[in-house]
Amino acid sequence: MIAMAPAQHRPVQAVKRFIRSPKGYLLVALALLTVVGAQAEGVALVEPGIVGAVVAAALTDVILIRLRTGGWEFPSGAILTGLIVALVLAPQEPVNVPIATAVLAVASKYLFRTRWSNVFNPAAVALIVAATVFGSGESWWGGLADLPVPLILLLLATGLVVADHVNKLPMVLVFLGSYVALFAASAFLGDPARVAEIFRPPDVNAALFFAFFMLDDPPTCPVRYPDQIWFGLIVAVVSFAVFSTIGTDYYLLVGLLVGNAWETLRRLEQRPKA
């Protein structure tokens, strides 16, 4: 019996290690926001999209890993990607939209990658394609936009914990500070009515959700603080420029993809030459 005890505790220990990992922190935070946000949207309305996106993402990742390596791996990253897709898309979308978006998101990890990681944030790539191909709407309901304003404190608290745990807080703060400063300057120097929506729900909730749960994706953003500062600034400037010139709903996602591309080029330039 004594010899069997360690083996019996291994699954519990594995779960504890996962919960303490960056992915574990993110999953707990997103699960909390999902439960709270679903109360406003309606559980029956959001459930098909959540289940469809998460299951589709997980199965796609398992299959692609099997084909690529011949092994089996728990698709923790894909589950998070599917959940983010579901929390951003409008819950009124037909269930085939979050399913297709989640599949595309996971596939993009293997389509756009270097030898060490994927290039772009998978959810951002897929959400832009979904908006273009399916005309899908993005409500960012995971940001609790349809709930009383004080609940934004829950979004802030969970987001700050996650950003601090993955050591990306400087990047998040630089992005948010630059983002607010650029739009505030635009309101002061130009037409305030044109950017007023940025400072109201759901846009302000979307920006916070984006900063805390998509911008700081570890595989696609910098590690060193100076690089984080540049990354956050680039994403904020490009997002502002896209909103100001095109006005598309996915201006934040475009900014993120440009930041991802910059980070990939920076890594390539700094790698030792063969």
pLDDT tens-digit series, residues 30-58: 999 999 999 989 999 999 999 999 999 99
Position with higher pLDDT, 14 vs 105: 105
The owner of tokens 């897709």 is 85
Going from the C-alpha of 15 to that of each of 21, 57, 84, 161, 175, the distances in angstroms are: 10, 21, 21, 19, 33
Amino acid, res. 172: V
Distance of CA 81 to the CA centre of its chain: 7
Structure tokens at 160: 């700050």
Rounded alpha-carbon distances, angstroms, from residue 200 to 38, 67, 170, 203, 232: 21, 46, 24, 6, 22
Q: What percent of the chain has pLDDT over 90?
A: 73
Q: Is 2 helix (H, G, I), strand (E, B) or coil?
A: coil
DSSP code string of 47-68:
HHHHHHHHHHHHHHHHHHHHHH
Over residues 7-22, the pLDDT tens digits come to: 555 666 766 777 778 8
Q: Residues 214, 84: contact at Cβ < 8 Å?
A: yes
Chain segment 219-228, per-residue pLDDT in tens: 999 999 999 9
User: Which of 93, 98, 224 has its CA nearest to residue 171?
Assistant: 224
Q: Which value, in Å, is the radius of gyration of the alpha carbons in the chain?
A: 19
Model-level pTM? 0.92
Yes or no: say if 160 and 209 are a contact pair by the CB < 8 Å rule.
no
Q: Which residue has the tokens 């984080």?
A: 228
Q: Could you tell me the pLDDT band of residue 6, with boundaries at 50, 70 and 90?
A: low
Quick check: helix, strand or coil at residue 89?
Answer: strand
Domain ranges of the chain: 4-133, 150-270
- Stretch 70-93: mean pLDDT, rounded? 95
pLDDT number for residue 11: 67
In whole angstroms, what is the distance from residue 267 CA to residue 82 CA?
Answer: 27
* pLDDT value at 66 more than 90: yes
Residue 147 CB: number of other CB atoms within 10 A?
19
CA angle in degrees (0–180, nearest 5) for 103-129-57: 15
